[in-house]
Amino acid sequence: MKTSIFAIFITILTFGLAYSQNAEQEWSLRKSYTTQVDLVVKFIEGANVKQRTAKAGLKYRYIETINNSVYIKFLDIKSSNDPFRDDDNFVNSTNDEIKYFIDQDDLTKIHKKKNASLVSGTLLAPIKIRPEEEINGETVPWELSTDLTLGQYIGFRLPISKTNAYYLTVPTVTLGTSLLSINSSNTNPETETSTTLGLTWSLGVLIDLNGFNIGMMLGRDYAPGSAGKDWIYNEKTWFSLGFGINLTSKNRDL
C-alpha cells in the first residue's frame, strides 16, 4: 500500500510541474477569467483612449481580439465590496459596464512574468491512512484514522493556468499539532482509550483553484510520553488529503 500511494503522490507532483510549464493562453467565450495581477486596461471616451487599473482578483469575460487588441468585459462588481468605487483611476462598480481592451503582446508579457513565489497558509488534514505495520512478528492492518491535524505550511506556488488563478504549491512543508486517538486496537501493550495532543510534520502538494485548496501529503505524528511509547503508529508515515483553509486570510506571498 505504501508503494502505491507514494506512486500516486509522485504522479500528481510530476503532472502538476509539467502542466505549469506548458499551460497555454486559450480564450473562450463560454468562461470567465480572473486578473491575477494589477492590470492596466484601456477604454475609449469620446475621441480619446484612456487608461484604468484593474486590481488583481477581478473577474472578466473575453469578447474578441481585433488588430492585436484583446477586448474584455468585467463582471459586475458589488459596490458594497468595492474599495475603489469613488476612484475613477480604477475599474470599479461604477464603470465596470464598459468594454475595455489591452494589447495582446502586453497581456502575453504579463502572463510570462508569472513565476514561482514563496507562500504560507493554514492546512487541515481531517483523515489519514496509516499503512499496515509489523509489530513483534504480527501484521497490524492499515487504519483509516480521523486524527485531525492543523498546521501552518510553507511552499513554492507555481501557476498552472495563464488565464485563471490556478496554482500548484510544491512542496508544502507543514508543521502543526494533531489530536491523536489512542486505544486498545493501536497500542502494544493494549492501553485504555485516550486522546493525546501530538506534534506533526508533513510534506505534500497543494492545488489552488480560485481560492479552493486541496492537496495530498505524507507525514508523521509524534505522541508524547508513555502514550507515544505504546502507540504503534508513533513516528510512522501516514498519507492524507489536505485542505488549505482560511482562518484569518488567504494563503499569502512571503
Q: What percentage of the chain exceeds 70 in pLDDT?
A: 80
Beta-carbon contacts of 93 under 8 Å, excluding residues fewer than 6 positions away, are 76, 77, 78, 79, 82, 85
Q: How large a percentage of the chain has pLDDT more than 90?
A: 40
CA 245 to chain centre: 9
Is 48 contained in some domain?
yes
DSSP character at residue 81: G
Burial of 12: CB neighbours in 10 Å, binned 0-12, 13-18, 19+:
middle
pTM: 0.58
The residue out of 112, 139, 168 marking a domain boundary is 112
Q: Mean pLDDT for the chain?
A: 82
**pLDDT confidence of residue 249:** 42
Q: Is the pLDDT of residue 75 over 50?
A: yes
pLDDT for 35 equals 83
Cα–Cα dist 184/14, whole Å: 40
**Domain that residue 12 falls in:** 2-21+114-253
Domains held by the chain: number:
2
Indicate whether 89 belongs to any domain: yes
Per-residue pLDDT reduced to its tens digit, 168-227: 888 899 999 999 998 888 888 888 888 999 999 999 999 988 778 899 999 999 999 887
Per-residue model confidence (pLDDT) at position 174: 94
Neighbours of 232 (CB within 10 A): 17
How much is the average pLDDT of 244-253?
53
Any domain includes 27: no
Residues 68 and 14 in one domain: no
- Taking only the tens place, the pLDDT of each residue in 77-120 is 988 888 998 899 999 999 999 999 999 888 776 655 555 678 88
Q: Tell me: do 124 and 100 sit in the same domain.
A: no
CA pair distance 149, 151, nearest whole angstrom: 7
Question: Is 87 a domain residue?
Answer: yes
Lowest mean pLDDT among 15-24, 67-76, 152-161: 15-24
Q: 105 with 180, same domain?
A: no
Residue 86 included in any domain: yes
d(CA 218, CA 234): 14
User: How far apart are the C-alpha atoms of 214 and 203, rounded to whole Å?
Assistant: 14
C-alpha cell at 191: 492501553
Q: Are residues 43 and 17 in the same domain?
A: no
Residue 170 shares a structural domain with residue 73: no
133 and 94 share one domain: no
Q: Same structural domain for residues 119 and 208?
A: yes
Q: Residues 128, 234: one domain?
A: yes
Instruction: Provide the terminal-to-terminal Cα distance of the chain, rounded to the nearest Å.
Output: 36
Indicate whether 31 belongs to any domain: no
Same domain, 51 and 118: no
Residue 150 and residue 70 share a domain: no
> What pLDDT, on a 0 to 100 scale, did the predictor assign at position 247?
47
Residue 118: per-residue pLDDT = 84
The reply to whether 219 and 124 lie within a common domain is yes
CB 199 within 8 A of CB 225: no
Beta bridge partners of residue 42, listed in sequence order: 51, 101
CB 220 within 8 A of CB 125: no
56 vs 220 pLDDT, higher one: 220
- Per-residue pLDDT, 153: 92
What integer pLDDT is reported at residue 18 of this predicted model? Answer: 53
Asked whether the beta carbons of 62 and 199 are under 8 A apart, the reply is no
For 9-30, the pLDDT digits (tens) are 555 555 555 554 444 456 677 6
Name which residue leads in pLDDT, 52 or 80.
52
Q: Is residue 28 part of a domain?
A: no
Which of 52, 83, 112 corresponds to the end of one domain? Answer: 112
Q: Which residues contact 137 (CB under 8 A, 6 or more apart)?
A: none
Q: Which residue type, as a one-letter code, is found at position 150?
A: L
Q: What is the mean pLDDT of residues 128-157?
A: 87
- Predicted local distance difference test score (pLDDT) of residue 163: 62
> Which residue carries 480604477 as its cell?
90
**Are both 16 and 135 inside the same structural domain?**
yes
- Which of residues 93, 112, 131 is at a domain's end? 112
Q: Return d(Cα 239, Cα 215) in angstroms, integer.
A: 11
pLDDT at 248 over 50: no
